[in-house]
């Protein structure tokens, strides 16, 4: 049977009403979800709970100290005592750049470096021998290399013969290479004082008695 115009109009109105209801319901649901207060983290993730999985190892056993108000482990606590930030606030001597002067610390007998981790190794006394290294420029002082302070920390094998050949004139060093991490740059600028203070090494005037 043919639909009358009134019937068609009624069908359209019903369809539009259904669409409006659906859109309104969806908007309410979305807004309601947005306004919901965030759910609390489960107690098992609570950092103040010593039994939290945050403090357990993969086998489910306590991995730290058991005190959630302190660092997670004893090794971490010990390490923090030697952290550069902690050391900078200590009463250790500093150089003019504010860096800890480890050489001065040794000279002041504030520390005594171990010769070896193996107590059976025979200790060798530091070698008191200065080497003059001439620079290639007429306007830059020569370098006086003190074996004494270096052999407080290092064995001869740490440098010879892989880094420096122990023979006069056999090490063609360039400052550019040192800056790149070769020669003296193997340590200086990494674990020893940086290269910013030229006069700390270049101490022998050109023409001085060697």
At 97, the pLDDT band (50, 70, 90 cuts) reads confident
Q: 4, 1, 8: which is closest to 16 by C-alpha?
A: 8
Check residues 69 and 119 and name the one with the higher pLDDT: 119
Closest by Cα among 208, 206, 204 to 146: 204
Nearest to 68 by CA among 45, 48, 96: 48
At 102, the pLDDT band (50, 70, 90 cuts) reads: confident
Peptide bond into 59 cis (omega under 30): no
Looking at residue 30, its pLDDT comes to 47
Torsion sign, CA atoms 106, 109, 110, 112: positive
pLDDT score at 187: 93
Whether 140 shows a pLDDT value over 80: the answer reads: yes
Using the predicted structure, report yes or no on whether residue 82 has a pLDDT greater than 90: no
Mean pLDDT of 147-171: 93
Per-residue tokens: 205: 């005037």
- Does residue 150 register a pLDDT over 90? yes
- Which residue's entry shows tokens 């115009």? 5
Distance CA(50)–CA(53), nearest Å, equals: 9
* Reported confidence tier of residue 63, pLDDT bands at 50, 70, 90: low
Domains of the chain: 44-81 (no CATH), 113-200 (3.90.10.10)
Contact 156, 137 (CB under 8 A): no
Structure-block tokens of residue 206: 């050109």
* pLDDT of 70 over the 90 cut: no
Residue 43 has pLDDT above 50, yes or no: no
Average pLDDT, the chain: 76
């Amino acid at each position: 049977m043919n639909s009358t115009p009134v019937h068609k109009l009624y069908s359209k109105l019903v369809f539009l009403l259904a669409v409006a209801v659906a859109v309104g319901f969806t908007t309410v649901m979305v807004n309601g979800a947005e306004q919901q207060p965030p759910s609390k983290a489960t107690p098992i993730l609570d950092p103040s709970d010593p039994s939290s999985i945050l403090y357990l190892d993969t086998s489910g056993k306590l991995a730290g100290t058991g005190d959630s108000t302190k660092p997670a482990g004893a090794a971490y606590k010990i390490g923090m005592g030697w952290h550069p930030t902690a050391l900078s606030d200590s009463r250790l001597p500093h150089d003019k750049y504010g860096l800890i002067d480890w050489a001065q610390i040794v000279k002041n007998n504030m520390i005594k470096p171990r010769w070896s981790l193996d107590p059976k190794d025979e200790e060798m006394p530091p070698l008191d021998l200065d080497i003059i290294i001439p620079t290639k420029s007429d306007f830059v002082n020569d370098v006086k290399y003190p074996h004494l302070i270096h052999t407080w920390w290092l064995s001869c094998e740490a440098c010879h013969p892989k880094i420096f050949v122990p023979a006069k004139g056999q090490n063609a060093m360039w400052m550019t290479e040192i800056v790149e991490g070769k020669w003296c740059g193997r340590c200086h600028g990494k674990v020893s004082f940086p290269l910013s203070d030229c006069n700390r090494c270049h101490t022998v005037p050109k023409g001085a008695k060697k």
